[in-house]
Structure 1
Amino acid sequence: MKSSTFAVAVSLLLVGCADPDLAGLDRELEALKRDPGELSVEPLPEVPRYRAPGYEQANARSPFLARLPEDAAAPQGERAPDPERPREPLERYALSELELVGTLTVNAQPSALLRAPQGQVHRLRVGNYLGADDGRIVSITGASIVLVETVRERDAWVGRTREMTLPN
């Protein structure tokens, strides 16, 4: 009983969707294609040209940097980094970008293996420099290296001790 009622309902719906006068619709569309009549299309408005404003404060003091007297030269002293010293390859990276991947000792000389951001592994010894703040390696142990960075604090150069350890 239910299936016959369903079949009748579906048949009625399908018959209701059929329109015998589709040929009339096709004739109407063909007539519009042949003679579209007069269409009034307004011309597009002229778009104004955009002029980007120039940035005029490029040479001004940055609001994010501390004020320093114009005539204050960089402090010099026994801890001041040597600007003439040739830079080592790992000095162009921050310490956070470098990874200690191993340490080894050959002929009682400890060495550290550090991976640079591009994936190269560099072998360093005590006295080598790394990091952006003139970090000099002062000791290498089995699981870490200790270095002293030379940083400027107010009007003097100071040494800051940092340690890099092997990941667990």
Structure 2
Amino acid sequence: MFFRKNSKAFDLTDTLNGCLKGKQTAQRALYEHYFSFAKSICLRYAASQEQAEEMVNDGFLKVLEKLPLYDPTRAFEAWFRTVVIRTSIDYYRRNQLQGTRITLEDAPEPEYEDNLLENMAAEEILTLVQKLPPAYRAVFSLFVVDGYTHAEIAELLGINEGTSRSNLAKARTKLQAWVSTSHPAYMK
């Protein structure tokens, strides 16, 4: 048969052992198996598909570099996700942080409608999140999607906790404004 599927199933343990030995076939298998997962994470922090792919590649390099530190008694996907998120934040710091730091400590919390985003498709939401300024996008993704606290975000991004809160509020306000103008039916 010419169109036979590859009968070799992905074996995480064998693949990780091969990666630890520096085998390129194992590294390629890991990349191909986890590429979509990594890209879905990076898209939340990137301004474009190209930027997300750069983050993915940086993330895989970091995963391979840090693989000897991975504890096999823990879930690989959780460890992998953490490495990719931190790599995305490092990319953000290197390429986006200049000139976007906001020092407003105690901005009043604007009113926004939390249920607006519930009625939108994930792709629409991702498109809107990618339009946010880099500082807002990073805080929004870390807080809303990845579940980090403002203290953790402040430490990761090298900002004050109040700045994290302010950036989240401003991100939500911008998203709500964009949703209300592009989808007026979602407004009450």
Bigger radius of gyration among the two: 1
Higher helix share: 2
The alignment's TM-score, normalised by the length of structure 1, stands at: 0.24
The alignment's TM-score, normalised by the length of structure 2, stands at: 0.22
Give the structure, 1 or 2, with the largest relative contact order (CA under 8 Å, sep 6 or more): 2
Higher strand share: 1
